[in-house]
A and B are shown apart, each in its own frame.
Chain A
Amino acid sequence: MLELINVCKTYPIHHGKSERLILNNINLCIQRGEKWGILGRNGAGKSTLIRLINGVEVPKSGTITSDMSISWPLALGSTFQGSLTGRDNVKLVSRIYNVDFNKTMALVEDFTELGAYLNEPVKSYSSGMSSRLAFAISMSVEFDCFLIDEGMSVGDHRFHQKCDIELFEKRGDRAMIIVAHQVDLIRAHCDHAAVLDKGHLTVCDSVDEAIQIYEGL
Chain B
Amino acid sequence: MIAKYRSSFFEQFRIQRRVIWALILREMITRFGREGLGIIWMIAEPAMFIVGVMVIFSLLHSGEAGNSVAEYLAVSYPTLLLWRNGTGRVTKAIEVNMALLHYRPVRPMDIIYSRIILEFAGTTATFLFLYLIFIAIGVCQLPADLYTMLIGWLMVVWFCFAFVLTMAALAELSDTIERSSHIILYLMLPFSGVFLAAHLVPQPYRDYLLLFPLVDCVEWFHAGYYGVRMETYYYPEYTIIANLAFTLFALALTNISIKRVQSI
Q: Indicate whether A and B interact.
A: yes
Residues of A in contact with B (beta carbons under 8 Å apart): 11-12, 54-58, 60, 66-67, 69-70, 72-73, 76, 78-81, 83-84, 88, 91-93, 95-99, 141-144
Partner of A95, one of B25, B99, B262, B263: B25
Q: Mark B10-27, 1 if CB is under 8 A from A, else 0.
A: 000001001101100110
Chain A binding site: helix, strand, loop or mixed by DSSP?
Answer: loop
- Docked CA distance A83–B259 (Å): 27
A56: which B residues are within 8 A, CB to CB? Answer: 98, 101-102, 262
One of A58, A69, A98 near B5 (C-beta < 8 A): A69
Alpha-carbon distance A95/B20, docked complex (angstroms):
10
Is the CB–CB distance between B102 and A97 below 8 Å?
no
A144 to B19, CA, bound (A): 20
Give the number of residue pairs across the A-B interface with Cβ within 8 Å: 79
Contact A11–B104 (Cβ < 8 Å): no
Of the candidates B3, B29, B30, B102, the one whose C-beta lies within 8 Å of that of A142 is B3
Q: Mark B244-264, 1 if CB is under 8 A from A, else 0.
A: 000000000000000100111
* Least CB distance, B260 to chain A, in whole angstroms: 10
Say whether B6 faces chain A, with CB atoms less than 8 Å apart: yes
Give Cα A93–Cα B99 distance, bound, in whole angstroms: 13
Q: A95-B25, A96-B106 are contacts. A83–B99 as well, Cβ < 8 Å?
A: no
Residues of A within 8 A of B100 (CB): 79, 81
User: Which residues of A lie under 8 Å from residue B259 when comparing CB positions?
Assistant: 58
Task: Please list the residues of chain B having a beta carbon within 8 angstroms of any beta carbon in chain A.
Answer: 1-6, 15, 18-19, 21-22, 25-26, 29-30, 98-106, 259, 262-264
Select B1's contact among A55, A79, A88, A141, beta carbons within 8 Å. Answer: A141
A72, B99: Cα distance in complex, Å:
10
Bound Cα distance A78, B102 (Å): 9
Q: Give, as a whole number of angstroms, the nearest-CB distance from B11 to chain A.
A: 11
Residues of B within 8 A of A78 (CB): 99
Give me 13 A-to-B residue pairs in the complex whose CB atoms sit less than 8 angstroms apart, sorted by A's number.
A69-B3, A69-B4, A69-B5, A69-B104, A70-B104, A72-B102, A76-B102, A88-B26, A93-B103, A97-B105, A98-B15, A98-B18, A141-B3
Q: Which of B2, B26, B104 has the most CB of A within 10 A?
A: B104
A contact residues around B104 at 8 Å (CB) = 54-55, 69-70, 72
Residue in B4, B19, B26, B105 whose beta carbon sits within 8 Å of that of A81 in the complex: B26
Cβ of A73: which chain B residues have Cβ within 8 Å of it?
Answer: 102
Q: Shortest distance in angstroms between B49's beta carbon and chain A's nearest beta carbon?
A: 24
- A12, B264: Cβ atoms closer than 8 Å: yes
Q: Please determine whether B22 and A67 come into contact, CB atoms closer than 8 angstroms.
A: no
> Could you tell me the distance between the alpha carbons of A12 and B264 in the complex, rounded to whole angstroms?
7
Partner of B99, one of A12, A60, A81, A91: A81
CA distance A26 to B4 in the complex (A): 25
Does the CB pair A92–B262 fall under 8 Å? no
Given contacts A76-B102, A95-B21, contact A143 B262 (CB under 8 A): no
Chain A residue with the shortest CB-CB distance to B19:
A96
A142 with B105: CB separation less than 8 A? no
Contact across chains for A57 and B26 when beta carbons are under 8 A apart:
no
